[in-house]
Amino acid sequence: MRLTQGTFSFLPDLTDDQIAAQVRYCIDKGWAINIEFTDDPHPRNTYWEMWGLPMFDLKDAAAVMFELEACRKVHRGRSYIRISAFDSSPGWESLRLSFITDRPEDEPGFRLERAEGEGRKIGYKLHAYATDRPSGERY
Amino acid sequence: MNDVINEAYAPPRIDIEAEFRRSGLGEVLDELDRDLVGLAPVKRRIREIAARLLIDRIRADHGLIGTPPTLHMSFTGNPGTGKTTVALRMADILHRLGYIRSNHLISVTRDDLVGQYIGHTAPKTKEVLKKAMGGVLFIDEAYYLYRPENERDYGQEAIEILLQVMEAKRDDLVVILAGYADRMARFYEANPGFRSRIAHHIDFPDYTDEELFAIAEKMLEAQHERFDAAGAEAFRAYIQARRTQPLFANARSVRNALDRARLRQAVRLMENRAGPVDLEALVTITADDILQSRVFRDAAAQAAGAPA
């Protein structure tokens, strides 16, 4: 099942040129750009691992693509990779844009678990098949 | 229908003159000639690079896409020969030629690249390189990166990362190294990888006396000042005398001399403040302001001492 998170989630995966164009847009807006990765696809897994530090004072998208390439060398096919852009103009860093750039080839998806509780009350739980295996061996 | 076919088969005629005018290149080069005194070899090389980039672009417009040229440069020359000034303009020139995407230049020295402990250098250098991407990275006094006397120096690590990125990211980054000729020669000897990865080695010649005087006039003009006739004569004599003394730094010496002349001019005006002066006096450097210089005293002492 294809994971859909963040901006452009219902579009086909962006090409490198398209990613660079989005990054250029962020830089022109003065946003800081961050590359993150994770192998836990749960939608509530908000805080992904950071690849290096956020990039605050870049002038050109090439630098982000350079870091993205470096991140892909390590994590491509084994993790999701996303780019997020933070706007500090309100006085704090707030997320403006976030999109997935790379995903594992095989995404097993989720199952819904029902737990019957007291008084026939039913609790629902989302379980990612990938997390059945330990972190690092999931994809 | 016939027309379309004929058009398709007609060999394309390319009007280089029109392309040249459209690119605004002439303007850039004229500006360079106007603003920078002397530096003939440097200007010639910039012309060559500009021509190459224009022809490349015309070729690309007609579907003949080749690999973009490498534009890493090395500026060598004595102190005050305009290396930094030209580097600052280079970003502008390359941007207007459409070779780099953004008109920005990051100027760094050893301190910005080399870290203080193990593992500090690589991220620091990469950070600088990332900041410079899309524009020009100018490394001033580049020979400081390599310190053979200290084998645990982290400069080597910075050099390796620089080389790697210069090679892999040729389209995204132009690196300009600058430094004094003799020390840069030693630097390249120790790091042959650098020498071969840099396409343009440009040597900045020393200025002639006449060129230095023209530079002085330009510097004054920028501040709305000028020499009077005797002042101009005195300054020519100053340049001649200064050149023979140690630590002569071409245009930088001229700038410092002018700064000191301005000081003396200000003092002179203050001391004679009793009478009214006109606007002219405020912006004129006279012979007096220059002849008081230590350089003339030293030159006289030298001449007196020489026979002994």
Q: Is residue B308 included in any domain, yes or no?
A: no
Question: Nearest CA of chain A to the CA of B126: how many Å?
Answer: 9
Separation CA B90–CA B138 (nearest Å) = 10
In A, which residues are within 8 Å of B131 by CB distance? 57-59, 63
Which residues lie below 8 Å from residue A111, measured CB to CB, with a gap of 6+?
A: A126, A127, A129
* CATH of residue B293: 1.10.8.60
Domain end point (choices B204, B239, B256): B204
**B55, B186: one domain:** yes
pLDDT digits (tens, 9 = 90+) for B250-279: 899 999 999 999 999 999 888 888 878 888
**B40, B146: one domain:** yes
Task: Count CB neighbours of B238 within 10 A.
Answer: 24
Domain end point (choices B153, B176, B204): B204
Burial class (CB in 10 A: 0-12, 13-18, 19+), B264: middle
Domain end point (choices B204, B237, B267): B204
* CATH of residue B179: 3.40.50.300
Separation CA A35–CA A63 (nearest Å) = 12
Q: Tell me how far CA of residue B109 lies from CA of A28, A60, A63, B177, B251, in angstroms.
A: 27, 21, 20, 10, 21
Nearest residue on chain A to B100, alpha-carbon basis: A60
> Which structural domain, as residue segments, surrounds residue B27?
2-204
Could you tell me which residues of chain B have a Cβ less than 8 Å from any Cβ in chain A?
Answer: 101-102, 104, 123, 129-135, 165, 169, 171-173
Quote the DSSP letter at residue B142: G
pLDDT confidence band for B306 (50 / 70 / 90): low
pLDDT digits (tens, 9 = 90+) for B94-145: 888 778 888 889 999 999 999 888 889 999 999 999 999 999 999 988 989 8
In A, which residues are within 8 Å of B123 by CB distance? 52
Give the start-to-end residue ranges of the domains of chain A.
Answer: 16-107
Q: Do A62 and B129 touch (CB under 8 A)?
A: no
**B14, B160: one domain:** yes
What is the predicted ipTM? Answer: 0.74
Q: Is residue B230 included in any domain, yes or no?
A: yes
In this predicted structure, the answer to whether residue B7 has a pLDDT above a threshold of 60 is no
Quote the DSSP letter at residue B114: -
pLDDT digits (tens, 9 = 90+) for A53-87: 899 888 889 999 999 999 999 999 899 999 999 99
Q: Is residue B14 included in any domain, yes or no?
A: yes
Phi, psi of B224 (to 5 degrees): 60, 35
Nearest residue on chain A to B134, alpha-carbon basis: A60
Q: Do A63 and B129 touch (CB under 8 A)?
A: yes
Query: What CATH fold (topology level) applies to the domain A16-107?
Result: Ribulose 1,5 Bisphosphate Carboxylase/Oxygenase (3.30.190)
